[in-house]
Structure 1
Amino acid sequence: MKFLKKLFKNKFDNTRQNKTDYNTNAKNYVNSKNFSSKTKYLIWVDLKNFKVNIFSGSKNNWKSLKSYLCTIGKISTPTPKGKFTTGIKGLYFGVNKGYKCWYYTQFKGNYLFHSIIYNLDGSVRDGRLGMALSDGCIRLAKINAKWIWDNIPRDTTVVIS
């Protein structure tokens, strides 16, 4: 095992470094834009990098809390850009259409943060992340959608760019 760690040391170190650099850059970005929120949380969706970035703190003093890989809207049905706030939440939707998307949190009208798509039997129907293929919603791993559902209060600012 030690041999493998040494063999792949640079690869693992670079991955860790890139994640740290991304989180630092994301934090610097939101703090440079004077974003504020009615809650102690702020969400910035980075469309270019397919990331949902969650911060805690306050205006000009946001600290990176979470960064999740996501799927965004495809070209024909893009995720809306702009500044929004979180609204209603629900456990799941889509049963009447033969699927389930878990742990939804609204950010604009019918646009939601929610899990990847599951079949009614619980198997994964479409688990792809890091792509532009939704109808405009932001898909996340189920555990990450649940974290938002559990922790992000209504009226939290969501910035999508």
Structure 2
Amino acid sequence: MKREIYFIVLFIACLLLPSAVQAAMRVEVDLSTQMVKVYDNNLLLRAMICSTGAPGTPTPVGDFRIQGKGPMFVTDYGVSAKYYSAFNGDYLFHSILFDRTGKRLISRSVQMLGRPASHGCIRLNLYDAKWLQEKVPRGTPVKIRKSGKAGMKKEKWKVQVNGKLYPAWLDIRWLEGQAYLRAQQLSWFIPGKMIIKGTYIQFVREKTVLELFLSEPGLKINGRETRSSLAPQLFADGPYLPLLPVLSALGYQLEYMNRAKVIKIQTVIQLPQPNGTENVADGVYGNIYN
């Protein structure tokens, strides 16, 4: 009798296990900031810039679930998109747009990332749409809301490093109150070599090697994982790096002079954190100015 009960309990547990695992993952879409975030047990797995419905064709607000998936579809107005994941009938997560054949990218859809522009679906960069389709299972909860937070904006700023003002204007994008710098411009004021290969970004400065991946929170410093809630993002003019964790990892502290549009950067001495942990998302721990 005990043996039979054991197998019955085991059978029920096997039936419930996929649901339990699935329930731990969730997708949150913020129509205000145009960001899609995927969590697993409150751990941020991925943060992705998106383009939701335009004012005349808004993306529905509410609670949904990931439904059917597919490699590609062609719309009635002659464009296609790849790696779609449905969440509410014909409303989908999908890639930026291509022509009917799926071979030619429609650049306008890339340029509109970070702004409402779709017919109600949620557009993502190609690699983000592919990741979501492959990693987020059917049945995963999707919550779509308007937070009221400021959305993405692009501005021109200058930088001052240890008192030296650099004349070149930098491309800065603001997302959820955080500054993002166009990756190629980092070496304009921080000596080092930038390498970008697909979704992989590496910056080498003397004996320090930073490694980041597009849309993936956190970074590696000389191979060591470092926590951060911020992730590099890809826009039409190239990848952008979150300034705070990147500069903190390189040993700098920054301050924004909003009226002058100047980012003030100073070298700091970084002391080790207690228990050997690191978290550069909240700034450098135990900074002492030289």
TM-score in same-fold range (> 0.5): yes
2:105 match: 124
Q: 1:149 aligned to 2:149?
A: no
1:97 Cα offset (Å): 4.7
CA distance in 2, matches of 1:121, 1:48: 30
CA contact (8 A) 1:73 1:132 kept: yes
Letter in 1 for 2:69: K
Letter in 2 for 1:103: Y
Q: How does 1:100-119 map to 2 (within 5 A)?
A: 100-119=80-99
2:39 paired residue among 29, 36, 55: 55
CA contact (8 A) 1:37 1:157 kept: no
1:124 Cα offset (Å): 1.3
CA contact (8 A) 1:114 1:139 kept: yes
Letter in 2 for 1:51: M
In the superposition, the TM-score normalised over structure 2's length comes to 0.40
* Runs of 5+ unmatched residues, structure 2: 1-19, 146-290
Which structure is richer in relative contact order (CA contacts within 8 A, separation 6 or more)? 1
Higher-Rg structure is 2
Sequence identity (%): 35
Q: 1:88 aligned to 2:68?
A: yes
Letter in 1 for 2:46: K
* More deviation, 148-157/118-127: 118-127
Q: CA RMSD of the aligned region, Å?
A: 1.8
Higher fraction of helix: 1
Letter in 2 for 1:148: L
CA contact (8 A) 1:104 1:112 kept: yes
2:27 paired residue among 23, 31, 43: 43
1:67 paired residue among 47, 57, 67: 47
Letter in 2 for 1:153: P
1:148 Cα offset (Å): 0.5
Q: Deviations over 1:28-83 (max 9, x none)?
A: xxxxxxxx9943310000111000000001xxxx1111000000001111000010
Letter in 1 for 2:83: Y
Letter in 1 for 2:142: V
Letter in 2 for 1:41: M
Letter in 1 for 2:132: I
Evaluate the alpha carbon distance shift between residue 121 and residue 73 of structure 1 in structure 2; reply closer, same or farther with a 3 A threshold.
closer
CA distance in 2, matches of 1:73, 1:95: 15
